[in-house]
């Protein structure tokens, strides 16, 4: 299956900061109708599910999917709709909020490292260790609460050091069989405003709205700068970032689905080959079962 837009259009080249203003938050519809959208999404999910079963059986690789974006960008919805067909035994989803006291007593990668996927599984991070170069960068009071030695908190070097730590971690994971793919759901400020208003207007969505969402919205430009720095400095061949236009949720889910599918297809997966003794056991079991008829 091919999308109208090549996936490379969404991939961040890496190596330097990017200008998010040059990346679209909306592209032409990738489906002809709502019915066509569901048909495409179902086809993607079925293929992803089949490959996830093969990934689990092969038991050599793991896949880590990282989702980042501004509030209301649709991270949870993308995870739900794209991965709904995957066997729960082979998929783990973790959402990372404010760190606990225990987590603050460790290095900034500790709490997410505990949740990395096992071989044969897909791990999904709804927010991730990237929060440490995003929200922590925009809100200095959070950094002040992280109990770091004073001489190590230098804004001139800290963020680039953390970029290096993250790139090194993802390189290490790659060398150990974990493939990392990262999605930035790129939302426009106006679309976020409309989605926040919709949450306020719908009683069934009121619980999703937090007054602190407006604090982050007021710091929109600072967050866009932090995201741009982060994406450019941490996107690389073995752990790419994809900027997914998120104003259209259906389009975003199709793009994410296609990227996940192509990532799985690129892995040299196969079902385990049985030893001759095991093959003989199966033949004998088949003979005994057929004899019962």
Please give the Cα distance from 277 to 45 (Å, whole number). Answer: 36
**Which regions in the chain score pLDDT beneath 70?**
1-5
Please give the Cα distance from 242 to 256 (Å, whole number). Answer: 9
Residue with tokens 């093969």: 54
Q: Collapsing DSSP states into helix, strand and coil, what is residue 161? A: helix
Please give the Cα distance from 254 to 258 (Å, whole number). Answer: 6
Q: What is the pLDDT of residue 14?
A: 81
* Region at 15 (left for phi over 0; alpha for psi -120 to 50; beta for the rest): left
The reply to whether 162 falls in a domain is yes
CB 231 within 8 A of CB 66: no
Q: What is the pLDDT of residue 208?
A: 87
Domain range for 12: 7-291
Integer CA distances (angstroms), 143 to 125, 138, 271, in order: 21, 9, 47
Distance of CA 139 to the CA centre of its chain: 23
Task: Look at strands 241-245 and 62-69 and give their pairing.
Answer: unpaired
First to last CA, the chain: 44
Please give the Cα distance from 185 to 72 (Å, whole number). Answer: 10
Q: What is the pLDDT of residue 4?
A: 60
The reply to whether 2 falls in a domain is no
Q: What is the pLDDT of residue 61?
A: 98
Number of domains in the chain: 1
Give the pTM: 0.93
The reply to whether 1 falls in a domain is no
Q: Collapsing DSSP states into helix, strand and coil, what is residue 115? A: coil
Which H helix or E strand runs over 185? strand 178-186
Which CATH number characterizes residue 207's domain? 3.40.50.300
Q: How many residues does the chain have?
A: 293
The reply to whether 58 falls in a domain is yes
Burial environment of residue 65 by CB neighbours within 10 A (0 to 12, 13 to 18, 19 or more) = buried
Q: What is the pLDDT of residue 2?
A: 62
The reply to whether 107 falls in a domain is yes
Please give the Cα distance from 114 to 123 (Å, whole number). Answer: 12
Q: Which residue, 202, 208, 130, is CA-closest to 167?
A: 130
The reply to whether 194 falls in a domain is yes
């Amino acid at each position: 299956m091919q999308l109208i837009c090549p996936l490379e259009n969404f991939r961040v080249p890496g190596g330097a900061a990017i200008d998010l203003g040059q990346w679209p938050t909306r592209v032409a519809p990738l489906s002809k109708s709502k019915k066509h959208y569901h048909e495409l999404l179902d086809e993607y999910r079925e293929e992803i599910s089949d490959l996830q079963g093969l990934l689990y059986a092969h038991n050599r690789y793991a896949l880590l999917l990282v989702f980042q974006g501004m509030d209301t960008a649709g991270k949870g919805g993308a995870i739900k709709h794209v991965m709904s067909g995957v066997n729960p035994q082979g998929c783990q989803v973790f959402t990372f909020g404010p760190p606990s006291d225990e987590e603050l007593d460790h290095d900034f990668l500790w709490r997410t490292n505990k949740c990395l996927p096992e071989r044969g599984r897909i791990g999904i991070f709804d927010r991730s260790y990237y929060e440490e170069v995003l929200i922590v960068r925009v809100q200095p009071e959070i950094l002040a609460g992280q109990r770091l030695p004073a001489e190590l908190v230098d804004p001139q070097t800290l963020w680039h050091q953390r970029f290096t730590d993250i790139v090194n971690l993802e390189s290490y994971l790659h060398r150990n069989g974990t493939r990392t793919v990262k999605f930035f759901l790129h939302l426009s400020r106006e679309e976020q405003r409309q989605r926040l208003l919709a949450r306020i207007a719908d009683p069934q969505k009121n619980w999703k709205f937090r007054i602190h969402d407006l604090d982050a919205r007021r710091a929109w430009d600072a967050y866009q700068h932090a995201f741009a720095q982060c994406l450019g400095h941490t996107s690389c061949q073995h752990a790419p970032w994809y900027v997914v236009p998120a104003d259209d949720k259906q389009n975003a889910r199709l793009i994410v689905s296609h990227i996940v599918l192509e990532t799985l297809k690129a892995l040299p997966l196969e079902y385990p080959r049985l030893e001759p003794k095991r093959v003989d056991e199966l033949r004998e079991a088949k003979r005994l079962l057929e004899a019962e008829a």
